[in-house]
Amino acid sequence: MANFYKNSDKLCHDNYHNRSVKGVEYHFITDLSVEPVDLAFFKQHSRIDYNLDNNLCTNYIKAARQHLEIVTQLSFGERTMQMTALSMVDNWKLMYGPVDTVKAPYTKFGKDIITNSGGTNVTIEYTTKWSLGLPEDLKIAICRYAAYLYAVRESVVLTEKGVPVEPKNLLDEAEKMAMKYGNVTFL
């Protein structure tokens, strides 16, 4: 029994403790060419039936998408990403997936795991894509967050009767909807 633990300690020490991950950074090389939520869908969701604020709504949709991508550490569409690290282990789960393709010499294993990534001064370039398109509840989460940004351009929101309302609940619900897809590797 004692020898087993000594051997496993040696294996763990030799294989894992000498390798570390340091200086990891992610960069968006390209942004999404098309937002996953279009203006018409957002306006229908938010019950906006006029065109006066179309440019403003488009900006809020993009801001909401970008915020929820950071919260979930996912990419909500097709884009090119780059991960750099000063030191990296052999198998690594990339953030801001789902990973579609990986530039050689690295290999995609499973959903977002990259093999042969060990070493120093590592740069991995990859593309992201949802094979079946962005799930509908993530689109709704983007709409909820964008609707909050649209409705709460000031620090106080009043109902029709002039009663102050706590608008932060809209943000919390949007983040909860998006986090079930979130990458929780570092949490």
Q: Residue 9 — very low, low, confident or very high, per pLDDT cuts 50/70/90?
A: very low
The residue ranking higher by pLDDT, 75 or 177, is 75
State the pLDDT at residue 111: 83
Q: How confident is the model at residue 5 (pLDDT cuts 50, 70, 90)?
A: very low
Closest residue by Cα to residue 90 from 73, 110, 74, 106: 106
pTM of full prediction above 0.85: no
Estimate the crossing angle of helix 168-179 against helix 136-151, to 10 degrees: 160
Domain ranges within the chain, ordered by starting residue: 20-179
User: With bands split at pLDDT 50, 70 and 90, how would you rate the model's confidence at 7?
Assistant: very low
- pLDDT value, residue 10: 38
Least confident of 50-54, 77-81, 172-176: 172-176
pLDDT, tens digit (0-9, with 9 covering 90-100), for 111-164: 888 888 888 899 999 999 998 999 999 999 999 999 988 987 766 666 778 777
Three-class HEC string of 30-83: CCCCCCCCCHHHHHHHHCCCCCCCHHHHHHHHHHHHHHHHHHHCECCCCEEEEE
